[in-house]
Chains A and B, each alone.
Chain A
Amino acid sequence: MLKKRVGIEVSLAVAEAVKQARAQVISAYPITPQTHIVEELSTYVANGELDAEFIPVESEHSAMSAAVGAAAAGARVYTATSSQGLALMHEILFIASAQRLPIVMTVANRSLSGPISIWNDHSDIMAERDIGWVQLFVEDGQEATELTIAAFKIAEDHRVLLPVAVNMDGFILTHMIEPVIFPAQATVDKFLPPYKPALKLDPAKPVTMGPVGVPEVYLEAKKQCEQALLDSKAVVAEVLAEAGKTFERKYNLIETNGKKKAKTLFVTMGSLGESVWSAVEGLNEDGEDVGQVRIRLWRPFPVQEFKKACKGAKRLIVIDRAMSPGSVCGPVAQELKTIFYKDKDAPEIVNVIAGLGGRDVPVADFKEMYRLAKKGKLAKTYTLWGVDSNA
């Protein structure tokens, strides 16, 4: 059957995916660049195209709180946010994972103020690294659509039962008009059956969710959640493989592009990966020994899969989209330096923090990064790309 490709803004494609996933409760507060997603969903609900409760709350703190309540009551719950909105959700994000509630949230990644910026980088989600959620990063519109559907399947799996954040770059992905192929509703229904909660608020069978964790139980509660997050890696891999089969694509935890067994590898997360891909293709055509590794699953971090993808590499050029002020380098590079520590064949890790606050990073810049790295001219700590004086 010939699949129909539709030219659509990626935010609207994500809204369509949430509709296809038959979300039952959507609680959201608008914030650029996420607004189009929930605005479209509110239209679906108002038009009767989606049988869901739409809760237009007064803040993101309430959006996540309502999501927690609805998920506790056993509903399939969706929300979306960005930047300051994610920051305002902060305390409730930990509660959602601690109560093992399978909420799905799109984070349209945007820089945090100040200075005030509505543009793209990863500083919002990097400030929320340790919330105990499964965290995925998508690169293009098709992936955003399919992984939004897959996110519900991951979250609701009884081996997981954790919230999932699907990160997509604000503007450079959310506001792109891309060709997207939507799966048939029957295909989605088969892939994602109705949510069956393991535990829910039910007057006929009362339970207390979110009780006090006295010192004699707090640690065990944290351990339970951490173990569920670590164990979720296998389920994410399984669901991504099934999503790949269902939607006729290929999804792994870690992807590789460019020359096989290259000495130098770019490491990317999110949409800048596409520009890096173009740069790597160009460099390969020029005979350069370079490839690319893309991180799709950020939490739990797939250590073995990442190391396997880097096998034989001598140098990693890690592109970070956020700063970690006062630390030694950006957050992704910190992670990688940690996992390779004391490995005999550990690659050299150079870190470039690029494209903060929506600063454009064209393909030529990545080629320049490669040339500088090859000559050993990139800073040993990190390079704040585009800032003239790196002291």
Chain B
Amino acid sequence: MAKKSLCAWQDLALGAAILAPGSAAKLKTGDWRTLIPRLDEDKCIKCGMCELYCPEFCISEGKDGFFRPNFAYCKGCGICANECPKQAIAMVMEEK
């Protein structure tokens, strides 16, 4: 039988609790994505609304002042595109 469990049941913490904080960072949600946000730098006013609304907190400001997602975590949910006041973000099918 193929081994499909993370660990033996005896090794789980009480009630399957997670004892170390910050473990969500280990879950790379980027591979959930089908649509990918594409930024039009001509339209972008660098307001940072996308960063505020991102439910994954994966958008941050770069040295050039543009806000870009960390694609290891971006699920492609499209909230940034929806909230952008300048329609500078388009959700496009990602080629994998």
Q: Can you list 26 residue pairs at the A/B interface with Cβ under 8 Å? A: A99-B15, A99-B17, A101-B15, A161-B15, A198-B14, A199-B17, A206-B21, A207-B13, A207-B18, A208-B18, A208-B23, A209-B15, A209-B17, A210-B17, A211-B16, A213-B16, A214-B6, A216-B4, A216-B6, A217-B6, A219-B9, A220-B5, A220-B12, A220-B16, A221-B16, A227-B9
Residues of A within 8 A of B19 (CB): 207
A98 contacts partner chain B, Cβ-Cβ < 8 Å: yes
B12 near A224: Cβ-Cβ < 8 Å: yes
B7 at the interface (CB under 8 A from A): yes
**Residue interface mask A213-247, B partner, CB < 8 A = 1:** 11111011101110100000000000000000000
Cβ of B25 under 8 Å from chain A: no
In the assembled complex, the Cα of A370 lies from the Cα of B35 at a distance in Å of 72
Which single member of A101, A161, A215, A217 contacts B16 (CB below 8 Å)? A217
Chain B residues in 8 Å Cβ range of A198: 14
Interface of B is mostly: loop
Residue B8 is within 8 A (CB to CB) of chain A in the complex: yes
Q: Which A positions have Cβ atoms within 8 angstroms of B?
A: 98-101, 161, 198-199, 206-211, 213-217, 219-221, 223-225, 227
Q: Which residues of B contact A220 (CB under 8 A)?
A: 5-9, 12, 16
- Other than the given A207-B13, A220-B16, 18 more pairs (CB < 8 A) read A98-B16, A199-B13, A207-B18, A208-B21, A209-B15, A210-B15, A211-B17, A216-B4, A216-B6, A217-B5, A217-B16, A219-B9, A220-B5, A220-B12, A221-B9, A221-B12, A221-B16, A225-B15
Q: Which of B42-78 contact A (CB under 8 A)?
A: none
Q: How far is the CA of A225 from the CA of B14 in the complex (A)?
A: 9
Q: Which of B8, B9, B10, B15 contacts A199 (CB 8 A)?
A: B15
Min Cβ gap A226→B in Å is 9
Q: Report B-chain residues with C-beta under 8 Å of the C-beta of A225.
A: 15
Query: In the complex, A217 Cα to B49 Cα: how many Å?
Result: 37
Chain B proximity of A107: nearest CB distance (Å): 22
Q: Please give, as numbers and ranges, the residues of chain A lying within 8 Å of B7 by CB-CB distance.
A: 217, 220
Per CB-CB distance, the 3 closest pairs between chain A and chain B, nearest first, are A100-B15, A220-B9, A221-B16
CB distance from B15 to the nearest CB of A (A): 4
List the B side residues contacting A199 at CB < 8 Å.
13-15, 17
Determine how close the nearest CB of chain B comes to the CB of A10; give it in whole angstroms: 33
Nearest chain B CB to A100's CB is how many angstroms away? 4
For B4, the chain A residues whose CB sits under 8 A away are: 215-216
Contacts of B6 in A (CB 8 A): 214, 216-217, 220
Query: Which chain A residue has the least Cβ–Cβ distance from B10?
Result: A224
Q: Is there contact, CB below 8 Å, between A100 and B21?
A: no
> Do A219 and B15 touch (CB < 8 A)?
no
Instruction: Report how far A207 CA is from B22 CA in the complex, Å.
Output: 10
Residues of B within 8 A of A209 (CB): 15, 17
Residue-wise, chain B 23-38 has the 8 Å CB interface mask toward A (1 for contact) of 1000000000000000
Q: Which of A198, A207, A223 has the largest count of B CB atoms less than 10 A from its CB?
A: A207
Closest to B19 in A: A207
CB-CB under 8 A for A223 and B9, given A208-B23, A216-B4: yes
With a CB–CB cut-off of 8 A, which chain B residues contact A100? 14-15
B63–chain A nearest beta-carbon distance, Å: 33
A214 and B21 alpha carbons, distance in the complex (Å): 18
In whole angstroms, how far apart are the Cα atoms of A211 and B22 in the complex?
A: 13
Output the nearest chain A residue to B4 by Cβ-Cβ distance.
A216
Q: Is the CB of B23 within 8 A of A224?
A: no
Contact status B18-A211, CB under 8 Å: yes
- The verdict on A207 contacting B5 (CB below 8 Å), with A217-B12, A220-B12, A221-B12 known, is no
Distance to closest chain A CB from B20 (angstroms): 8
Q: A206-B21, A208-B23 are in contact. Are A98 and B15 (CB under 8 A)?
A: yes
Tell me the smallest distance from the CB of A323 to a CB of chain B, in Å. 34
In the complex, what distance in Å separates the CA atom of A214 from the CA atom of B15?
14
Complexed CA–CA distance, A139 and B70 (Å): 62
Q: How far apart sit A208 and B13, CA to CA, in the bound complex (Å)?
A: 11
* Chain B minimum-CB-distance residue to A213: B16
Residue among A199, A217, A219, A220 facing the most chain B CB atoms (10 A cut-off) = A220
Question: Which residues from B are CB-within-8-Å of A210?
Answer: 15, 17
**Which of the residues A207, A214, A215, A227 comes within 8 Å of B17, measured between beta carbons?**
A207
Q: Could you tell me the distance between the alpha carbons of A208 and B15 in the complex, rounded to whole angstroms? A: 10
